[in-house]
């Protein structure tokens, strides 16, 4: 069994990467700011946002005590000259930029490639229970209370932590109902995103809850349009585009926080003012809305539909990147490790 040391300036953020590398070998996260010795290892990986001179010194000290010729791979969340110089200064064997190719990383580390995760009964059961929750709570002419949504949010958040985003996506992609599939994909991605950023319980709950609620207005859209086995025509699209405002009206008097109402109403707004329904622009769009919007668009691209196969992670990320200043580019960049954490089935 190989021993990998993952040097991180945010151990919470690095947990998902450590879990991905831990199949068949020990992968231990070492906090960059912990002066304790790591001991010898068969390979080292750095997962850092900090490229200061202090960070270089700290990583170099760790490696001088423990590296002994072992390969060193730098994971870059964004490619820049400073990061490349950082790698050269440390004598990195390889650098990999997000979106991260895990098979390539394992090859660089001299590890066997990871077999695809089986479709676990737990993931299937959790996703089916979440679908039943969504199907019984998000229905026309029934009040939707914050207390009920809080319970569903906690359930899905725990399911993502227990089963992992890869298994969740594979399970949810089996759903025939397009609305259930999309909503639970967005919610799962948001929960995983929150966890990967090292957010505290309250902020994780806020983001997951906002994602769960974002498309509530679709309960006002005819089922024949929502689950049409083909692309929508112009008239049908016009009906669909009413759902943000309809959802906002449904929840406005039900005791939901203003930030949740903003996500429901504004998750199709774009930073350049080209979105809907209010053509908001720039600073008028809150951060929580921006986060859910990225998850929403990515989920739509990787969804399995009767008329299209799920898009690959790399292609979906390329589209997000291509949207430029319409989206918050900082959020898109931060989302990449989540998107690259799995490959949807073709």
Residue 217 has pLDDT above 50, yes or no: yes
Question: Which tops the pLDDT comparison, 192 or 22?
Answer: 192
pLDDT of residue 343: 45
Domains assigned to the chain: 3-108 (3.40.50.2300), 121-339 (1.10.3210.10)
Phi-psi category of residue 141: left, alpha or beta, with phi > 0 → left and psi -120 to 50 → alpha: left
Q: Is residue 77 within 8 Å of residue 49, measured between CB atoms?
A: yes
How many Cβ atoms are within 10 Å of 294's Cβ, its own excluded? 24
Mean pLDDT (the chain) is 87
What does the pLDDT look like over 110-121, one tens digit per residue?
776 555 555 678
How many Cβ atoms are within 10 Å of 98's Cβ, its own excluded? 19
Q: Residue 151 and residue 130: Cα distance in Å, rounded?
A: 11
Residue 161 has pLDDT above 80, yes or no: yes
pLDDT of residue 238: 96
pLDDT of residue 156: 94
Residue whose tokens read 């000259």 = 81
Mean pLDDT along residues 203-229: 92
What does the pLDDT look like over 66-114, one tens digit per residue?
888 888 888 887 767 777 778 778 888 888 876 666 777 877 887 765 5
- For the ranges 86-90, 139-143, 230-234, 290-294, the one whose mean pLDDT is highest: 290-294
Tell which residue, 4, 1, 2, has the closest CA to residue 27.
Answer: 4
What does the pLDDT look like over 21-31, one tens digit per residue?
776 568 899 99
Rounded (5°) CA angle 117-123-125: 145
pLDDT of residue 117: 54
Give pTM, 2 decimals.
0.69
Residue 20 has pLDDT above 70, yes or no: yes
What does the pLDDT look like over 279-337, one tens digit per residue?
999 999 999 999 999 999 999 999 887 677 788 888 898 899 999 999 999 999 888 87
Percent share of the chain, pLDDT over 90: 46
pLDDT band at 344 (very low <50, low <70, confident <90, very high): very low
- Residue 22: both structure tokens together: 């831990």
Give the sign of the dihedral formed by CA 304, CA 308, CA 309, CA 310: negative
pLDDT band at 346 (very low <50, low <70, confident <90, very high): very low
pLDDT of residue 212: 97
């Amino acid at each position: 069994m190989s021993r990998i040391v993952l040097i991180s300036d945010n151990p919470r953020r690095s947990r998902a990467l450590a879990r991905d590398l831990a199949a068949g070998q020990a992968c231990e996260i070492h906090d960059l700011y912990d002066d304790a010795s790591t001991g010898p290892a068969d390979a080292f990986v750095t997962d850092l946002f900090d490229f200061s001179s202090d960070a270089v010194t700290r990583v170099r000290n760790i490696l001088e005590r423990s590296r002994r010729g072992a390969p060193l791979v730098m994971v870059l969340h964004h490619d820049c000259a400073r990061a490349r110089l950082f790698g050269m200064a440390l004598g990195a064997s390889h650098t990999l930029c997000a979106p991260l190719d895990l098979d390539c990383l394992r090859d660089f580390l001299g590890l066997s490639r990871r077999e695809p995760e089986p479709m676990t009964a737990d993931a299937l059961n959790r996703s089916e229970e979440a679908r039943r929750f969504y199907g019984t709570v998000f229905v026309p002419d029934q009040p939707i209370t914050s207390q009920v949504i809080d319970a569903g949010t906690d359930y899905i958040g725990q399911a993502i932590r227990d089963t992992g985003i890869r298994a969740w996506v594979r399970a949810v992609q089996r759903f025939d109902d397009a609305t259930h599939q999309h909503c639970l994909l967005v919610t799962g991605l948001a929960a995983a995103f929150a966890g990967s950023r090292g957010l505290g319980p309250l902020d994780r709950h806020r983001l997951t809850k906002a994602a769960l609620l974002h498309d509530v207005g679709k309960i006002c859209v005819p089922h024949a349009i929502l689950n049409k086995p083909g692309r929508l025509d112009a008239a049908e699209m016009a009906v669909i585009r009413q759902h943000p405002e309809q959802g906002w009206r449904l929840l406005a008097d039900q005791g939901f926080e203003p930030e949740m109402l903003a996500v429901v109403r504004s998750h199709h707004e774009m930073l350049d003012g080209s979105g809907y329904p209010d053509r908001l622009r720039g600073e008028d769009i809150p951060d929580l809305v921006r986060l859910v919007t990225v998850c929403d668009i990515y989920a739509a691209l990787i969804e399995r539909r009767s008329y299209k196969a799920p898009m690959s992670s790399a292609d979906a990320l390329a589209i997000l990147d291509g949207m430029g200043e319409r989206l918050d580019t900082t959020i898109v960049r931060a989302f990449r490790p989540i998107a690259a954490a799995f490959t949807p089935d073709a």
